[in-house]
């Protein structure tokens, strides 16, 4: 049921934002607080106001980096048993 409501919500957003469905689903885990934290940390480093797309991209890149680090630590601890 949740996926069906997400698709309906996506259709409404797609007409105005141009987001792909994949980007919409990937960004659904971002809370307002997390977005604000990303803006607070990265806006000074980028030197300009970050758009919503840039904030989502940074969050996705950070999540990918953390996944890579956790996989590396897992392999060090358990070997190649993934």
- Rounded CA separation 26/17 (Å): 15
CA of residue 13 relative to chain centroid, distance = 17
Give me the tens of pLDDT residue by residue for the chain, a chain 82 residues long.
455 555 555 455 444 455 565 565 656 788 889 999 999 999 999 999 999 889 989 998 999 999 999 999 999 988 876 5
Domain edges within the chain: 2-78
Q: How many residues appear in the chain?
A: 82
* Burial (Cβ within 10 Å: 0-12, 13-18, ≥19) of residue 13: middle
Rounded distance between C-alpha atoms, residue 59 and residue 32, angstroms: 12
CA distance 48 to 35: 16
For residue 29, what pLDDT is reported? 80
Q: What is the pTM of this model?
A: 0.62
């Amino acid at each position: 049921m949740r996926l069906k409501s997400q698709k309906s919500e996506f259709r409404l957003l797609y007409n105005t934002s141009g987001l792909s469905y994949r980007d919409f689903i990937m960004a659904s885990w971002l809370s307002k607080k997390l977005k604000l934290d990303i803006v607070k940390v990265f806006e000074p480093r980028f030197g300009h106001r970050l758009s919503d797309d840039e904030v989502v991209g940074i969050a996705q890149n950070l999540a990918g980096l953390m996944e890579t680090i956790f996989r590396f630590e897992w392999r060090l601890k358990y070997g190649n048993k993934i």
